[in-house]
Amino acid sequence: MYPEYRPSEPIKAKRGHNLQCKSWEIEAALRMLQNNLDPENCLIPKELIVYGGSGRAVRNWKAYRQTVDALLNLKEDETLLMQSGKPVGVVRTHPYSPRVLIANSNIVPRWSTQDNFDRYDKMGLTMYGQMTAGSWIYIGTQGILQGTYQTLAALGEQHYGSDLAGKWVLTGGLGAMSGAQPLAVTMNNGVIINVEVDPVRAKRRVNEGYCMKYSESLDEAIALAKEAVKAKKPLSIALVGNCAEILPEMVKRDIIPDIVTDQTSSHSLLDYVPIGDLDEMRKLHDKDPEKYKEKAMEAIIKHEEAILAMQKKGAIAFDYGNNLRGQAEAGGLNVRKEDGNFLYPGFVPAYIRPLFCEGRGPFRWVALSGDVSDIHKLDDLVLELFPHDDILSRWIALAKE
């Protein structure tokens, strides 16, 4: 990680209207990179991990210094090339070209395995950039909140011709990214049971206002959800438990949600919490990683089997980009149709790609000045330009609250 290159003071993105770089396009890249690593926004600043347990902004501290230096010296007709968190070149282009081109975590398919990736990462040859860590556009839960809101709004429109009033969603995960789910559902007037294995995370989301209710009882959560669905009132419930236990139990009881998805961390088996006492699993994680991964795979398969069972019983199922299907498939579970497609779609082709086709995305706009009044000006401008976009208008009104 080259800790000797780490700045002595916490990284803070510059605010205001004075440029450090040669243009606002270049300045934007620098400020967004530094905003990713600002302690107010970043999960583990000293390790360059922005969110998700392993998503980094740059490969190491030496690469950070090199990137900042490259941006400060970049000309308005040049483009900086970033390869998995490391600057690898500056090329002459033209003023209308991108100022930065970023490619993260790409490995030739034949060698594209988790073990190889982990080995290359330890060798300092690559990094995992997640979606917005390595692309320098992470803005905390507020960013994923709008994307999640838009995804669920598109789902409601596509399947029900309306919002999610009178429908309930079952999902997992209440971390920095997944924690947007409960508020996104209630913003769409739906009901959600959001399973989270860590009670500290569950309580935090309730205390922060992202989730309404906290429960450690499946029976209580189901009763609350049924009552809210019947009354068509928005409600979000953080249910403490392991998805690999909760979902199979719901299938056993024939309690099937309208919509089922998941955002527990499962890109790496070491990030997914197996069935068992949470403290004991954390000890096993450090003491015997291989045994931990075996248990995690067993839990993932049970989790995925339950989602597929719910789909067969009528639930709308979709993958929310956490590789749960892929891990279950690696563990031997059949997750595909005869034609090779997954048994249920991913969120991008099902709900996001149509929005991209309309020119919507990437679900955020940023005031580089750091002045909240500039955000309000942007909001007002969007409402003026798109007065008939009900979903967008509702989002802006709710986000201001």
Q: Is the pLDDT of residue 289 over 70?
A: yes
Compute the Cα dihedral for 347, 353, 356, 360 and give only its sign: negative
Quick one: three-class SS letters along 236-254? EEEEECCHHHHHHHHHHCC
Residue 361 pLDDT: 66
The mean pLDDT of 140-158, rounded to a whole number, is 89
* Domain layout of the chain by residue ranges: 3-122, 141-355, 365-400
The CATH classification number of 141-355 equals: 3.40.50.10730
Rounded Cα distance between 116 and 123, Å, is 11
Contact 206, 185 (CB under 8 A): no
Give residue-wise pLDDT tens across range 184-238.
Answer: 999 999 999 999 999 999 999 999 999 999 999 999 999 999 999 999 999 999 9
How many CB atoms sit inside 10 A of residue 113's CB? 12
Q: Is the pLDDT of residue 141 over 80?
A: no
**Helices then strands (H, E): number in the chain?**
15, 11
What does pTM read for this prediction? 0.82
Residue 54 pLDDT: 86
Q: Give the pLDDT band (50/70/90) at residue 400.
A: confident
Give residue-wise pLDDT tens across range 353-380.
Answer: 988 888 776 567 789 999 999 999 999 9
Q: Which helix (H) or strand (E) holds 68?
A: helix 61-73
Rounded Cα distance between 238 and 273, Å, is 17
Longest Cα–Cα distance of the chain, Å, equals 63
Give residue-wise pLDDT tens across range 236-251.
Answer: 999 999 999 999 999 9
